[in-house]
Amino acid sequence: MDNFIVSARKYRPATFNTVVGQAHITNTLKNAIKTGHLAQAFLFCGPRGVGKTTCARILAKTINCSDRTETTEACDKCESCISFNSGASHNVFELDAASNNSVDDIRALIEQVRYAPQLGDYKIYVIDEVHMLSQAAFNAFLKTLEEPPKHAIFILATTEKHKIIPTILSRCQIFDFNRIQIDDIAQHLAFIAKNENITAETDALHIIAQKADGALRDACSIFDQIVSFAGSTVTYKAVIENLNILDYDYYFQVTDAILGENIPTALLVFNEILNNGFDGHNFIAGLGDHFRNLLVSKDAVTLQLLEVGANIKDKYKEQAAKCTLLFLVRGLTILNKTDIQYKSSKNQRLQVELALMQLCSINSIGTDTEKKNDIIKPKQANQEVETLKKGTLTPSNYSKNDNPDIHLAQEPKINPKQDSVKTETSVISSSNPQSIKKSLIKTASPSINQHLSVKKEDMSTNNKNKEEEANDASQLSSVFSQKDLDIYWNKYATDLKAKGKISYGVALLDKQPILKDNCIIEFMINSKTLEETINEDKLNLLGYLRKELSNFNIKLQLQMIATEEKTTLYTANDRFKRLSEKNPNINKFRQAFDLDIEF
Ligand SMILES: [Zn+2]
């Protein structure tokens, strides 16, 4: 290791083609060089370590090359390329604005810009972390940026694009660099390992790539660190030990215990994790990631979202096959809750253990429809229907409920005779929790109605119509209060005012709507004009209320106030009389202060 060069430098890409994960940028730059339409100022934005400076250097080398290849890459043979590769080129200037951000630094740079290059056609000025320049420096620079000499190209690089003032932004061609994909980083590391005669396990490289969080330079540094620790063989085990990462294996073990409803094993594994010096919060977050990975492994379409090495991918697929979608969704809900509550909990260990116990009990709460069929007797089901009739549990209550635990657990119980296979497949085929809800509601609600129709013989035609309506899963009928109504009614009216329909909005705010039985909303109006306006807008208004209150049975009833005599109030006295009728306090107020009426 005598002349050890860090991998990030040694394997810094030297051609556009070898830049990792930024094809959209290198292709554009190559095209611009080819067609001769190169801008004079570029802004490279993106997180650190993703190749901004590297691209700037490659651009500088390529445009000065006298003998570019057909694929618009530098030849590496001409005089310019050779001086560039040996680091002797005077055509690239790099200024780190983080440490040289004064006006004088920029003036020194501007001074240099005037001189044409000795070799090649262009001089490239790279200003790194350009957002750090002082205001004065920015101003001094602006003029040069506006009218640069022909041979000058500016490349401004920044990690914080939002801090760049618009006058600079508008003068630059902007390139946004991506975070580099984990797979791309892992491949690059594999390439380095191969060249350095290091044997590295793919899973190990994936872990390094994950830890680097999209930055190739960081990944290279971690890789060097591991190599100096582990020598010429980089194993998964060495990486997780060195980076203090909790082994995937623990998550698989815990999940197996959870699936087997084996609380003791789950607790023991957690204990072992704590003994190894890991923190409970990390464990919960990691287990959440694990469940998420299992969820995406269930479907070939989402499998690409799994960013792990090939071996681990197979393990995920295997374990995912053992979990139902419902189990995973519920598990994620529990883990998410624990994650949120962890920090505020006094007994954090217990918090995690409680979560594990809950996870182990998911299946026994009842996920499996077939299981349900055995447990729930028809009598019980009838009782549930009775409660449904009382209105405590309407199908729509499920959809409004924030806690999937409750509605997911109850819905399958409703009709024990329900075709269990059908329910199961509809659940599994949909990977989206929202659609799970929907499919469950769809299968559940007709059965409720069946029970209701059998029990109730005296059902009026009106009710039958309602039943038909309720068959549609979209026909929600949540219970809401006068207060809820007031909130959304006022919101609608305020929005109208904001949209310029001021008098309409004011008219709606003038009186509060009254919630009557059967979701009828009564609204008092005092003029034909208002009645017409509301009727014209009825679809919008009703649509809004039905949606916001999750109740599609809402109806609007306009009630004309028994028209008071429409006398025009001419005199001040008349107007005062009318006002004090509306609010007697005004009169008291007048008397108390002995006021005259004079408008
Ligand atoms: Zn060349």
What is the pTM (predicted TM-score) of this model?
Answer: 0.54
pLDDT recorded at residue 415: 42
CA of 91 to the centre of ligand 1 (A): 13
Residues 6 or more apart whose Cβ sits within 8 Å of residue 393 = 384, 387, 410
CA of 190 to the centre of ligand 1 (A): 29
Residues 6 or more apart whose Cβ sits within 8 Å of residue 378 = 416
CA of 540 to the centre of ligand 1 (A): 68
242/230 Cα distance (integer angstroms)? 9
Q: What is the DSSP letter of 477?
A: B
CA of 184 to the centre of ligand 1 (A): 28
What single-letter amino acid sits at 355?
A
How would you label 259-271 residue by residue, b for 16+ Cβ within 10 Å and e otherwise?
Answer: beeebebbbebbe
CA of 10 to the centre of ligand 1 (A): 20
CA of 427 to the centre of ligand 1 (A): 61
CA of 119 to the centre of ligand 1 (A): 12
Tokens found for residue 377 = 């007797």
Length of the chain, in residues: 599
pLDDT recorded at residue 571: 76
Residues 6 or more apart whose Cβ sits within 8 Å of residue 307 = 181, 182, 183, 206, 210
pLDDT tens-digit map of 521-580: 888 888 888 888 888 888 788 888 888 888 878 888 888 876 545 566 777 788 888 888
pLDDT tens-digit map of 276-330: 888 899 899 999 999 999 999 988 888 888 888 777 888 899 999 999 999 999 9
Q: Could you tell me which of 69, 61, 56, 70 has the C-alpha nearest to residue 22?
A: 56
CA of 455 to the centre of ligand 1 (A): 89
Q: How many CA atoms lie within 13 A of 42 on its CB side?
A: 27
CA of 16 to the centre of ligand 1 (A): 14
Q: What is the DSSP letter of 518?
A: G
pLDDT tens-digit map of 222-253: 999 888 888 889 998 889 888 888 888 899 99
CA of 57 to the centre of ligand 1 (A): 13
CA of 58 to the centre of ligand 1 (A): 11
CA of 306 to the centre of ligand 1 (A): 41
What residues form DSSP beta bridges with 174? 43
Tokens found for residue 145 = 């940026």
pLDDT band at 438 (very low <50, low <70, confident <90, very high): very low
CA of 195 to the centre of ligand 1 (A): 25
pLDDT recorded at residue 6: 81
Higher-scoring residue by pLDDT: 398, 316: 316
Tokens found for residue 32 = 């611009």
What residues form DSSP beta bridges with 515? 521
Tokens found for residue 553 = 């049975």
CA of 524 to the centre of ligand 1 (A): 84
Higher-scoring residue by pLDDT: 442, 209: 209
160/411 Cα distance (integer angstroms)? 49
pLDDT recorded at residue 262: 92
SS3 153: strand
pLDDT recorded at residue 558: 85
pLDDT tens-digit map of 151-197: 999 999 999 888 888 888 888 999 999 888 888 999 999 999 998 89
pLDDT recorded at residue 85: 84
CA of 69 to the centre of ligand 1 (A): 8
Res. 434: pLDDT tops 50:
no
Average pLDDT, the chain: 78
pLDDT band at 339 (very low <50, low <70, confident <90, very high): very high
CA of 33 to the centre of ligand 1 (A): 14
pLDDT band at 392 (very low <50, low <70, confident <90, very high): very low
pLDDT band at 587 (very low <50, low <70, confident <90, very high): confident
* Cβ 103 vs Cβ 135: under 8 Å: no
What single-letter amino acid sits at 351?
Q
Res. 440: pLDDT tops 50:
no
What single-letter amino acid sits at 262?
N
Res. 4: pLDDT tops 60:
yes
Res. 482: pLDDT tops 70:
yes
185/10 Cα distance (integer angstroms)? 16
Q: Which residues surround ligand 1, an ion (CB under 5 A)?
A: 65, 74-75, 78, 81
CA of 458 to the centre of ligand 1 (A): 93
∠ CA 182-187-192, nearest 5°, is 125
pLDDT recorded at residue 416: 41
Q: Are strands 520-525 and 514-515 parallel, antiparallel or unpaired?
A: antiparallel
**Looking at residues 109-137, what average pLDDT do you find?**
86
Higher-scoring residue by pLDDT: 210, 455: 210
CA of 68 to the centre of ligand 1 (A): 6
pLDDT recorded at residue 445: 41
CA of 258 to the centre of ligand 1 (A): 62
Res. 77: pLDDT tops 60:
yes
pLDDT band at 134 (very low <50, low <70, confident <90, very high): confident
How many other β-carbons are positioned within 10 Å of the β-carbon of residue 241? Answer: 14
CA of 4 to the centre of ligand 1 (A): 28
Question: Look-up: residue for tokens 């005669």?
Answer: 197
* Cβ 393 vs Cβ 400: under 8 Å: no
What residues form DSSP beta bridges with 128? 96
Task: Give burial (CB, 10 Å; 0-12/13-18/19+) of 599.
Answer: exposed
CA of 77 to the centre of ligand 1 (A): 5
CA of 78 to the centre of ligand 1 (A): 4
pLDDT recorded at residue 5: 76
Higher-scoring residue by pLDDT: 551, 351: 351
**Looking at residues 448-465, what average pLDDT do you find?**
43
CA of 80 to the centre of ligand 1 (A): 6
pLDDT band at 144 (very low <50, low <70, confident <90, very high): confident
Q: What are phi and psi of 41, to 5 degrees?
A: -140, 130
CA of 150 to the centre of ligand 1 (A): 21
Return the C-alpha torsion angle 379, 385, 386, 392, nearest 10.
Answer: 140
Secondary structure string (H, E, C) spanning 155-199:
EEEECCHHHCCHHHHCCCEEEECCCCCHHHHHHHHHHHHHHCCCE
pLDDT tens-digit map of 253-270: 999 999 999 999 999 999
CA of 62 to the centre of ligand 1 (A): 7
Helix ranges (H only) for 390-460 are 395-400, 404-410, 420-429, 433-455
How would you label 309-345 residue by residue, b for 16+ Cβ within 10 Å and e otherwise?
Answer: beebbebbeebbeebbbbbbbbbbbbbebbbeebeee
Tokens found for residue 527 = 């003029």
Stretch (H or E) spanning 542: helix 528-548
∠ CA 319-322-328, nearest 5°, is 85
Res. 356: pLDDT tops 80:
yes
Complete domains list, the chain, with CATH: 7-176 (3.40.50.300), 182-243 (1.10.8.60), 248-364 (1.20.272.10), 368-471 (no CATH), 482-560 (3.30.300)
pLDDT tens-digit map of 7-39: 888 888 888 988 888 999 999 999 999 898 889
pLDDT recorded at residue 44: 93
